[in-house]
Structure 1
Amino acid sequence: MKSSYKFILGLALGLTVVLGIMMTAFSLPAVKSGINNVPIGLVAPNEATYDKLAKPLSDKGFKVKHYDSTADVKDAVNHRKIYGAFEMSATGDLSLYQATAASAAVAQGLNQIGQGVVTQQKAAAKAQLAPMMAQTTDLNTLKALNAKSAAVDTKTLKVVELKSFPKADPKGTGLAAGALPIALGGWIGAVAIANMIKGKKQKFYAALAFAFIGGLGLVGVIQFGVGTFDGNYFLTSLGAMVGIAATAFFVLGLLEVMGNGGLGIAAVMLILLGNPLSGLSSAPEMLPKFWGALGQLLPPGATGTLLRDIAFFNGNGIAKSLTVLLTYVVVGWILFTIGKKSVIDASTSETNA
């Protein structure tokens, strides 16, 4: 039976909508990415100094919180409350406590800001010394001023790395590149199971086996092949298993309930939206506000964040991402249980013709 022109037109319109969603998901974050309430800390000797530093940071889009000591800063970074912090000493020396493993993009941005502050400090000090050096005729005074000027020239930003990627992948490129494999791999795996495995119980066991073996394989490649991770391999693999299970069961559930329609919905959520909105290449707070939050509610973003927290931050901060992924597992399992389709309905297009 030939497809009707009405069906052809409807399909073209539907594909155009998908194309628009895909273009928006990939291009908007790239164009609008920036600092959107990125949480950082600030240690200052007094309120005046704090206010002087905090205001320009807030104006740039940072969510600045005051901390009493560097020990508090380190604890906050380890518990995933902030991405890093600045400390201004009583003598005016600026230090940056960064966590590249939390976000290489944020660490780079903080570094640039810190360098800018130090450059401004040096320029202000030079401007203050210049007229004094020009007016004095006393050799001892001039010598002392020259010494101060030389000291100003040596002033630098002190950078303390709190959480870094391994030397094999210092910028965490392997994790950033993992968003698409996480999204596409789980989707492909679920489709393969739906088509190639016969029997509902067998598909369930196949999804479990895929999550278990796939988690070990995914982290194995990232840790031993690429060198992005250097933490506990098996604990990190458990996180990957949960992420793959979330994707696999969710896709299988949609397929059992909706057939090809469910496959399209899963592709939009996991690949077209989940991949670019994962925040793995920067940070969720560096995406446009709504998009960054949405990305963390989708399996690729939640899985990436879970892996990062387990591998580098001792499991701190995993509650949200773990809850999101387990929700997908449960919802997918429920849909899979109540669904009646044992294979993808390949005749859908013909019945709509």
Structure 2
Amino acid sequence: MKVSSPKFILTLAVGLAVILGIMMTAFSLPAVNSGVNNVPVGVVTTDKTVYNKFATPLEKKGFDVKQYKSVSSMKDAVNDRKVYGAFEISNTGDMTLYKATAASTAVSQALETMGNAVVAQQKTAAKAQIAQMQAQATDATMLKALDAKVQAIDAKTLTVKELKAFPKADPKGTGLAAGALPIALGGWIGAVAIANTVKGKKQKFWAAIAFAFVGGLGLVGVIQFVVGTFNGNYFLTSLGAMLGIAATGFFVLGLLEVMGNAGLGIAAVLLILLGNPLSGLSSAPEMLPKGWGFFGQLLPPGATGSLLRNLTFFDGHAIGLSAGVLAAYVIVGLVLFFLGHKSEIQNAEKA
């Protein structure tokens, strides 16, 4: 009876340890070092001095701040996915936050927290000045007027206006955030199932097409009609999901045809171990460590998630990168699929 050699066992143990290390790095490092890393936001004001006053603390917090002269131009920038939201500063110093929760719940919450903190600082500074005036005032009318100013300051709050919200059924977009793993794992499992159950190369090709078509309709159907995260054009959003599933499916099938079962490991690392935590769906690509978020958008889970988000909530704006990435995976996968012959060789050996 043939048994495994000590060299093989040691090599396997080292390989598995490397995979565990990759898993730990991919899941823990972004979580530990996540935060604001050049998240683009806007400040709406025509006054350059006012802009600099509010932009400087935002930049120190890690935001990439852009100035807009009007609310309409800022709203266009939000819809074009150039910024996640913006602060408008009125002539009296009042602050309004325009946020797009559908772009990122985490960024939306961070902006609201920071806006409230700025308003609180403004109120503290203004009340301190009035307190000095109250200490020096002796006239009852003046004291009454100062008391009224304090009450007016206390009443000031951050005005929040929502530009792009998730549906009421899922106001935090939990369904989309939780979809990273099904997007990555589902495509991988589907491709493996096709590779192992469908006979014939042409038949595998058409099975992958059918899986992408039906899977795209099913994935968006669950997110939109069961979970309630999406509320856009069902068929248009489904086309994006179909492209994402096709990218994953053909990439896995291509690796299998060229490398055999070893390709499954590479696909699992790229699509699941790296693609899932680096997708940015639970926060935003700019909230992952520098460079990691962009890399995550070059992997199918991140690209698919961004494509679905932008198709559903942002009128199809800024889909070029994600659609291009997914199309590239489809093309590369098809080239590998038609060049490789591993399945034919395995079928010949079994025969």
Q: TM-score normalised by the shorter chain: which range applies?
A: over 0.9
Q: Does 1:147 align with 2:144?
A: no
Q: Does 1:48 align with 2:46?
A: no
CA–CA separation in structure 2 for the residues paired with 1:191 and 1:63: 42
1:81 is paired with a residue of what secondary structure?
A: coil
1:342 is paired with a residue of what secondary structure?
A: helix
Match of 1:184 in 2: 185
- AA in 2 matched with 1:31: V
Matches within 5 A, 1:68-83: 68-83=69-84
CA–CA separation in structure 1 for the residues paired with 2:149 and 2:41: 32
2:332 is paired with a residue of what secondary structure?
A: helix
CA–CA separation in structure 2 for the residues paired with 1:332 and 1:289: 29
Match of 1:339 in 2: 340
- AA in 1 matched with 2:10: L
Q: CA RMSD in A?
A: 1.1
Match of 1:349 in 2: none
CA–CA separation in structure 2 for the residues paired with 1:274 and 1:29: 12
Match of 2:93 in 1: 92
Q: Does 1:63 align with 2:64?
A: yes
Gaps of 5+ in 2: none
CA–CA separation in structure 1 for the residues paired with 2:290 and 2:204: 38
Match of 2:169 in 1: 168
CA contact (8 A) 1:168 1:228 kept: yes
CA contact (8 A) 1:260 1:344 kept: no
CA–CA separation in structure 2 for the residues paired with 1:345 and 1:16: 29
Deviation at 1:324, TM superposition (A): 0.1
Matches within 5 A, 1:93-172: 93-172=94-173
CA contact (8 A) 1:255 1:344 kept: no
Deviation at 1:135, TM superposition (A): 2.1
Match of 2:217 in 1: 216
CA–CA separation in structure 1 for the residues paired with 2:273 and 2:345: 21
Deviation at 1:345, TM superposition (A): 6.1
Match of 1:194 in 2: 195
- Note closer, same or farther for the CA distance 1:66–1:345 as it changes in structure 2 (3 Å cut): farther
CA–CA separation in structure 2 for the residues paired with 1:343 and 1:34: 48
CA–CA separation in structure 2 for the residues paired with 1:122 and 1:62: 23
Matches within 5 A, 1:285-324: 285-324=286-325
Deviation at 1:47, TM superposition (A): 1.3
CA contact (8 A) 1:45 1:90 kept: no
CA contact (8 A) 2:46 2:68 kept: no
TM-score, scaled to structure 1: 0.97
Q: Deviations over 1:293-341 (max 9, x none)?
A: 1100000000000000000000000000000000000000000001101
- AA in 2 matched with 1:96: L
Q: Does 1:207 align with 2:208?
A: yes
- Note closer, same or farther for the CA distance 1:49–1:108 as it changes in structure 2 (3 Å cut): same
Identity within the alignment, %: 72
CA–CA separation in structure 2 for the residues paired with 1:49 and 1:166: 35
- AA in 1 matched with 2:105: A
CA–CA separation in structure 2 for the residues paired with 1:343 and 1:237: 33
- Note closer, same or farther for the CA distance 1:238–1:5 as it changes in structure 2 (3 Å cut): same
- Note closer, same or farther for the CA distance 1:344–1:187 as it changes in structure 2 (3 Å cut): farther
Q: Deviations over 1:105-141 (max 9, x none)?
A: 0000000000000000100110011121122121111
TM-score, scaled to structure 2: 0.97
Q: Deviations over 1:45-69 (max 9, x none)?
A: 4111111111111011100011111
2:342 is paired with a residue of what secondary structure?
A: coil
CA contact (8 A) 2:97 2:160 kept: yes
Match of 2:18 in 1: 17
2:298 is paired with a residue of what secondary structure?
A: coil
- AA in 1 matched with 2:50: T
Q: Does 1:282 align with 2:283?
A: yes
Matches within 5 A, 1:236-275: 236-275=237-276
CA contact (8 A) 2:41 2:64 kept: yes
Gaps of 5+ in 1: 347-353
- AA in 2 matched with 1:194: A
Aligned length: 346
Deviation at 1:342, TM superposition (A): 1.6
